[in-house]
């Protein structure tokens, strides 16, 4: 739960920065949000979630 919330916050910040700095139109952001919402209800959603968890684990294991 914590990982998914922090991922949502991170992606929200990225979308906000794109909106403010790179000229992302509000309509584009809405379409992307709706796409993600409907994609979460498909059969591929568990694979996407597993890939995100794998990527988070990989990034969490990096030592500086």
Number of compact structural domains in the chain = 1
- The residue that leads in pLDDT, 3 or 23, is 23
3-state secondary structure of 55: helix
Mean per-residue pLDDT, 21-32: 83
- The residue that leads in pLDDT, 40 or 54, is 54
Q: How far apart are the first and last CA of the chain?
A: 26
Domain extent for 49: 1-61
């Amino acid at each position: 739960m914590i990982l998914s919330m922090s991922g949502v916050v991170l992606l929200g910040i990225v979308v906000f920065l794109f909106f403010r700095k790179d000229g992302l139109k509000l309509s584009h952001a809405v379409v992307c949000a709706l796409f993600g919402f409907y994609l979460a209800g498909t059969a591929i959603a568990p694979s996407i979630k597993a890939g995100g968890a794998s990527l988070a684990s990989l990034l969490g294991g990096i030592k500086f």
